[in-house]
Structure 1
Amino acid sequence: MVYIGIDIAKLKHFASVVSSDGKVIVKPFSFENSHQGFMKLLEEIENFQDPLIGLESTGHYAENLIQFLYERNYRIAVINPIQTDSLRDSNIRKTKTDKIDTMLIVQCLMLKKYSLVSSKNIDMIKLRRLSRFRLEMIQQQTRLKTQLTACLDIVFPELACFFKGNLHLKVSYALLEKYSSAKAIRSARIDGLTNLLYNNSHGRYNQEKALQLKKLAKESVALDNPAIELQIQCLIKQLHLYQKQINDIDISIMTLMEIINSPILTIPGVGYTLGAMIISEIDNIKKFSNPSKLLAFAGLDPVVKQSGNFQSESLKISKRGSTYLRYAIYRVAFLIIYNNETFHNYYLDKRSQGKNHRVALGHVCNKLVRIIFKILTDDIPFNLS
């Protein structure tokens, strides 16, 4: 067996080749994160029969190299950085350099502390990229909505009441695209205003509603500010674009989720997007030997504060590990208490013990993680009535 350890960086990687008896066959060498660099790596390793290539799972810098090697039928092992850190700490000098790290990675390979990359892992990389990007798009969209609300507080503060507190509807966006202030609505023809509201609300807003809106605009305390009207029109266009892009991402996520066919979708309240975020952040459930380790990876494990005879009565979660996984589990926990009787009763039981909503939801998250661990480990559907 020949082991190849690769230390990943942004611009330049380091690799070394070691035999199964620990003899260094190829001393650590550098190669660039480019096609030319990847070809240099192939030249160095192409004469070795069925080598095992190891690298750390340190962010996105390794994704290109993993796919490049996987497409050429190399066996690739991904190593948790915690494993290499523990080996480094066990050394007396605890030295960290790119060249030394390649040898630590080889040691992890020899100790079999890794998980092999499969076609499913490649799909997971794509899914994780899409899921994280989707969440970022949602957050940016939310910021735009906040800006839009702030603008309307100046040029038509009463409009929110007309739409019952929800300005972010198809009908309200259509209205603001054409009439971006109380002044513009006051000047609008009633027939044109009626048609616009009616056609964009499936008939819920008729001529009577149009007349109410006109009256509201005439009595408004709004300021006349053309600059803000222009800002509103730009914000509406950006919001439409964001929504279209999010829809495109959703289609790509759904396609990958149908290929992967994970039992995560059988959990009540879990759709394609939340399910994709959960399984892509976990990646390989076999990395976790028990539910507690998965709980810690999500940063949902409690932080115990104890000193001498003192022990804190209130425990906070660590919030380490994957922020995205923690977000998705919280979202599913919130949904599942309304979609599953067992979880609903469990939540109510915690509330009856005097725990507030947030603490009770934390207990639901804990229970949910154990369920997720079980169904992903055994590849079985959710079955908890």
Structure 2
Amino acid sequence: MEAAVITAVGIDVSKSKSTVAVRRPGGEIALRPFEVHHTNSDLKKLASTLKKLGGDIRIVMEHTSTYWRPIALTLKEAGFFVSIVNAMLIHDFSDNTIRKLKTDRADALKIANYALTFWDTLPPFNNEEETRLLLKMQSRANERITATATALRNGLIALADQTFPGVNIAFAPNTKNANGHEKWVDFFLRYWHKDCVCQYSMEAFTESYRGWCKRKNYKFRTDTAHKIYLLAQEGVATLPKCESTKMLITQACKSLNAVCEAKQSTQLEMQRLAAMLPEYEVVMQMEGAGPITGPALMAEIGDVRRFKNKKALVAFAGIDAPPFQSGTFESKSRHVSKRGSPHLRRTIFIVSNIILTRSNPENAVYCFMDKKRSEGKHYYVYTVAGSAKFLRVYYARVTEFLRSKPSPDAC
């Protein structure tokens, strides 16, 4: 029986449209590159066009942000073999030309050629579970919100140094209310200038502060009130107490509080979604996996069964050190690849620092990092080594727990 003709479809994805190229072995171009908009009608028309080609069809596209999702889901639902490939693999793939050509059409043809070259090893696209997908999106949103909160907090501290120096360190660290507001920010919103405190006697301010704590549901301490009063007495303000200064500080405080509220609700939603995953209890029992880092780990790793072994998970985080050898030379000191997920790398680095801070001698990851540290290794060296070990432990524990459950194809 005659073998079916193989047809490779390369799709160069962009935000609102994609360029499609169709190639066959021997350099044959079955369809000249054409554009498809990411609309329901255009995507259905594309599926219909590809079905008319017949034979064995495989569709390949780059993992470009989330722009690939509409076209990939539509074509997969239409029954096509779809493969989503890391953009770096396409970039490093040689299309047998020395010309430096960069157009959407050329890229689509290059992707189709890549599909023909690696036809038998193309990984099939398996859509993530809805819970895992939403958890990942919430985790990424939390990263962005945290970065915004840090920038706003630093800006507010810079203002506080000019109207009420030291107010940001007058309270216990991480003192927050149910909405996620930091206590010093709410206090600074009310007493925005040191003269707002100095206008009272110490006893009168203590009573004013007591009433404020009651209204805002914060714990009142007399020694804290006295500490703040003395701070105001000794502070030197460089901005005047006027309406313009008050407006500046009020806007900064309200902006930071709004972001903190969003951060609080995002983290609560992360915990809710993570609790729906089967590995939740196992992950949360691991030291370093807290109410924020635990869900973030599960979000960025996804279903651990998609990795064929623990080395694949470490490589996915980009903290593996690939060999570097040429002729008689073989490097003994190598840098980590950083070719994996920067989001997972950031999360696992935070987890490793938590383990170092707790210094639990019964924790295998801490003992491993402490041994490297005692050998005189640099901080980053033993922290990265500990991160890799944590991921190996994570892979072993979670895989063992999920072994009896249905598994997706290994990647």
Question: Is TM-score (shorter-chain normalized) higher than 0.5?
Answer: yes
Contact 1:5 1:106 in 2 (8 A): yes
Q: Which residue of 1 aligns with 2:149?
A: 141
1:173 and 2:185 matched:
yes
1:33 and 2:38 matched:
yes
Question: What RMSD, in angstroms, separates the aligned Cα atoms of the two structures?
Answer: 3.9
Residue range with higher mean Cα deviation, 360-369 or 263-272? 263-272
Q: Which residue of 2 aligns with 1:217?
A: 232
1:114 and 2:131 matched:
no
TM-score normalized by structure 2? 0.75
Structure 1 residue 251, shift from structure 2 partner: 3.4
Question: What is the aligned-residue identity percentage?
Answer: 22
Deviations 1:19-77 (A, max 9, x none): 89998665543202334432332332466699654322232221333344556666533
Q: Which residue of 1 aligns with 2:409?
A: none
Q: Which residue of 1 aligns with 2:211?
A: 195
Q: Aligned ranges for residues 83-162 of structure 1 at < 5 Å?
A: 83-85=89-91, 88-89=93-94, 91=96, 97-107=106-116, 110-120=119-129, 123-160=131-168, 162=170
Letter paired with 1:374: A
Query: Which sections of structure 2, spanning at least 5 residues, go unmatched?
Result: 404-411
Letter paired with 2:115: V
1:323 and 2:342 matched:
yes
Instruction: Name the SS of the counterpart of 1:89 in structure 2.
Output: coil
1 CA distance for matches of 2:124 and 2:400? 18
Structure 1 residue 330, shift from structure 2 partner: 0.5
1 CA distance for matches of 2:247 and 2:325? 58
Structure 1 residue 176, shift from structure 2 partner: 1.4
- CA change 1:77–1:302 in 2 (3 A) is closer
Which of 270, 273, 277 in structure 1 is aligned with 2:289? 270
- CA change 1:265–1:64 in 2 (3 A) is farther
Letter paired with 1:32: H
Contact 2:171 2:184 in 1 (8 A): yes
Contact 2:115 2:122 in 1 (8 A): no
Letter paired with 1:217: A
Residue range with higher mean Cα deviation, 367-376 or 173-182? 367-376
Letter paired with 2:66: H
1 CA distance for matches of 2:291 and 2:219? 31
Query: Which sections of structure 1, spanning at least 5 residues, go unmatched?
Result: none
Deviations 1:243-295 (A, max 9, x none): 11112222332343234433544432224543444444445656655544543
2 CA distance for matches of 1:268 and 1:228? 46
Instruction: Name the SS of the counterpart of 1:116 in structure 2.
Output: coil
Structure 1 residue 303, shift from structure 2 partner: 7.5
TM-score normalized by structure 1? 0.79
Contact 2:167 2:188 in 1 (8 A): no
Letter paired with 1:6: I
- CA change 1:156–1:199 in 2 (3 A) is same
Letter paired with 1:77: S
Instruction: Name the SS of the counterpart of 2:189 in structure 1.
Output: helix
Contact 2:23 2:113 in 1 (8 A): no
Which of 194, 209, 226 in structure 2 is aligned with 1:182? 194
Contact 1:20 1:110 in 2 (8 A): no
1 CA distance for matches of 2:197 and 2:78? 63
2 CA distance for matches of 1:99 and 1:314? 39
Structure 1 residue 320, shift from structure 2 partner: 3.7
Letter paired with 2:385: H
2 CA distance for matches of 1:310 and 1:22? 40
Q: Aligned ranges for residues 252-263 of structure 1 at < 5 Å?
A: 252-262=269-279
Instruction: Name the SS of the counterpart of 1:59 in structure 2.
Output: coil
Which of 62, 67, 71 in structure 2 is aligned with 1:65? 71
Contact 2:44 2:74 in 1 (8 A): no
Residue range with higher mean Cα deviation, 131-140 or 331-340? 331-340
Contact 2:271 2:291 in 1 (8 A): yes
Structure 1 residue 142, shift from structure 2 partner: 0.7
1:346 and 2:368 matched:
yes
- CA change 1:173–1:72 in 2 (3 A) is farther
Q: Which residue of 1 aligns with 2:407?
A: none
- CA change 1:261–1:16 in 2 (3 A) is farther
Contact 1:31 1:41 in 2 (8 A): yes
